């Protein structure tokens, strides 16, 4: 019988697992579950005889792909697939997919949760500031970026975006102003919200020089990936600019240092939780399960991310 594994070190909401089960068992397949694992050996054992798997930020390394001898398709229930060794998948004839857009609203809502938390001094009772009338820059106008723009308008913010891969007219049609360069985005906006993927071009690209362009009181919001930040440059900047704040859904490698030095203008969530809502889990989980069934039954490769 075709076996589908859900391998999530950060589990889906139970309702999402139930929904995935309905799709998988409805197709006549067996569902197996590996949740909250801490040992890579458990993942390597779990993948040994499965035909398909659904993961989140779980690391599908070459070792994992090679251990999964029967694997035909792996779906990252989410947007970013930097956690999958795509080369290994291609070499082993495994189709890798993501589920773009399915968890985006959850991530966008967290952007504003973190912004308001910072603006109100961590809810400590002292007088904070408001976000209305401030400028927010959306760095990459994909599915999350679009929701961020929508919510920002509700907050009464002026919304700007930079994305060389999206047509200017498409962004402007949403009532968002388009700037011509990434430098202009940072020098224009009080808040910048990051939505770029982590790849060879973007890693360490958010550096001292770029962040230093932000106006006084600038805030960088990162719900994307920690790898895009040049952490040395960030520390240097926060040392030099007592007005600058960094809030992140992904703990930086240098979290102890940065937390000790910049208390009150730096915080991170304890575990990446942008996409951690029942709705996002259900949407991404069901999409992943349907994509697996459609691939195995009909060869449908929509959302394939490896060549
Ligand atoms: C994504 O790329 O979809 C988000 O970063 C969510 O990741 P998660 O599924 O690990 O929460």
Q: Looking at the DSSP assignment, which residues form a beta bridge with residue 11? A: none
Query: What is the third-level CATH fold of 3-102+276-298?
Result: Rossmann fold (3.40.50)
Query: pLDDT tens, 138-151?
Result: 999 999 999 999 99
For the residues 85-108, what does the mean pLDDT come to? 98
Confirm whether 3-102+276-298 and 104-268 share one CATH topology.
yes
Query: pLDDT tens, 23-57?
Result: 999 999 999 999 999 999 999 999 999 999 999 99
pLDDT band at 170 (very low <50, low <70, confident <90, very high): very high
Give the pLDDT of residue 17. 98
- Could you tell which of 272, 279, 305 is best to mutate to test the pocket of ligand 1, judged by most ligand atoms within 8 Å of the CB? 272
- Ligand 1 center–CA 64 separation, angstroms: 19
Give the pLDDT of residue 139. 99
pLDDT band at 153 (very low <50, low <70, confident <90, very high): very high
Query: pLDDT tens, 212-235?
Result: 999 999 999 999 999 999 999 999
Give the pLDDT of residue 277. 98
- Ligand 1 center–CA 126 separation, angstroms: 33
Is the CB of 194 inside a 6 Å radius of any atom of ligand 1? no
Give the pLDDT of residue 269. 96
pLDDT band at 265 (very low <50, low <70, confident <90, very high): very high
- Ligand 1 center–CA 249 separation, angstroms: 10
For the residues 254-283, what does the mean pLDDT come to? 96
Give the pLDDT of residue 232. 97
Nearest 5°: phi and psi at 245?
-125, 150
Give the pLDDT of residue 165. 97
> Looking at this predicted complex, what is its ipTM?
0.98
Domains of the chain, by residue range, sit at 3-102+276-298, 104-268
What superfamily would CATH give domain 104-268? NAD(P)-binding Rossmann-like Domain (3.40.50.720)
CA angle 272, 16, 115 (to 5 degrees): 30
Is the CB of 76 inside a 6 Å radius of any atom of ligand 1? no
**Across the chain, what does the average pLDDT equal?**
98
């Amino acid at each position: 019988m075709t076996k589908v594994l859900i391998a999530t070190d950060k589990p889906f909401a139970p309702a999402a697992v139930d929904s995935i089960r309905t799709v998988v068992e409805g197709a006549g397949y067996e569902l197996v579950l590996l949740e909250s694992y801490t040992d890579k050996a458990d993942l390597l054992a779990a993948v040994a005889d499965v035909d398909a798997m659904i993961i989140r930020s779980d690391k599908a390394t070459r070792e994992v792909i090679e251990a999964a001898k029967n694997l035909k398709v792996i779906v990252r229930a989410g947007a970013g697939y930097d956690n999958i060794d795509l080369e290994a998948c291609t070499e082993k004839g495994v189709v890798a997919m993501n589920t773009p857009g399915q968890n985006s609203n959850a991530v966008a809502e967290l952007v504003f949760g973190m912004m308001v938390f910072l603006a109100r001094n961590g809810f400590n009772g002292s007088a904070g500031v408001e976000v209305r009338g401030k400028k927010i820059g959306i760095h990459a106008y994909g599915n999350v970026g679009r929701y961020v723009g929508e919510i920002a308008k509700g907050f009464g913010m002026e919304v700007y975006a930079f994305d060389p891969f999206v047509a200017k007219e498409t962004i402007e049609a949403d009532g968002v102003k388009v700037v011509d360069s990434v430098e202009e985005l940072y020098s224009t906006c009080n808040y910048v919200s990051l939505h770029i993927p982590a790849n060879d071009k973007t890693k360490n690209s958010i550096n001292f020089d770029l962040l230093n362009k932000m106006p006084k009181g600038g805030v960088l919001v990162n719900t994307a990936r920690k790898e895009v930040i040049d952490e040395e440059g960030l520390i240097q900047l926060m040392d030099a600019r007592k007005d600058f704040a960094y809030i992140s859904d992904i703990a930086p490698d240098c979290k102890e240092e940065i937390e000790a030095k910049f208390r009150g203008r730096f915080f991170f969530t304890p575990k990446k939780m942008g996409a951690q809502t029942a709705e996002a889990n259900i949407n991404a989980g069901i999409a992943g399960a349907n994509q697996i069934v459609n691939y195995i039954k009909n060869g449908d490769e929509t959302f394939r991310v490896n060549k």
